[in-house]
Amino acid sequence: MSPIVSAIFLVLLVSLLPFIRYLLRCAGNYKNGRKLPPGPRPLPIIGSVPTIVVSSSQAAELFLKTYDSIFASRPKLQASLMSYDSKGMAFTEYGSHWRYTRKLSALHLLSASKVESFAPMRREKMGSLVDSLKKAAAAKEWWISVQGLRQSYRT
């Protein structure tokens, strides 16, 4: 294919992409032949975030005191299949089991002495990470695989 033909094809493709996107967006607004009502625009990366607006002190008290255990729980996710049926601290529902797991992790896993005991390993990993970045900079590499660095320097 000649360079002129490929350039023309590229210009046509780039100019048609916004039009195709517009058509797809318009087609998505119709459900069962009717146009859907306008809704709030989602945020760019995280999309639409469910929000609860409390407009009075009585509603806030009802929400924060009476029904707090309902709203404190997390939704059931596919992660429940991977986390021993949501028995870990991150995915379990709010309740006595969650409070017990949180207390255990705070006392035994995240205590200051336990975190400090891993400081030499973190220093070693950080030193080797900095060394590998120095080597890459000295070799004038154009890119560094952050994914590979993340995998090899986990603690």
Examine the domain organization and report whether 123 and 101 are in the same domain: no
Examine the domain organization and report whether 29 and 7 are in the same domain: yes
Note whether residue 56 is domain-resident. no
Residue with the bigger pLDDT between 12 and 29: it is 12
How many residues are present in the chain? 155
Residue with the bigger pLDDT between 33 and 114: it is 114
Q: Which two tokens stand for residue 48?
A: 């639409």
Count of domains forming the chain: 3
pTM across the whole model: 0.37
User: Of the candidates 92, 114, 116, 115, which has an alpha carbon nearest to the alpha carbon of residue 102?
Assistant: 92
Range of the domain at 104: 83-117
Q: Is the pLDDT of residue 61 over 80?
A: yes
pLDDT at residue number 83: 65
Note whether residue 67 is domain-resident. no
pLDDT at residue number 120: 93
pLDDT digits (tens, 9 = 90+) for 94-136: 888 888 988 988 898 888 998 899 899 989 988 888 888 888 8
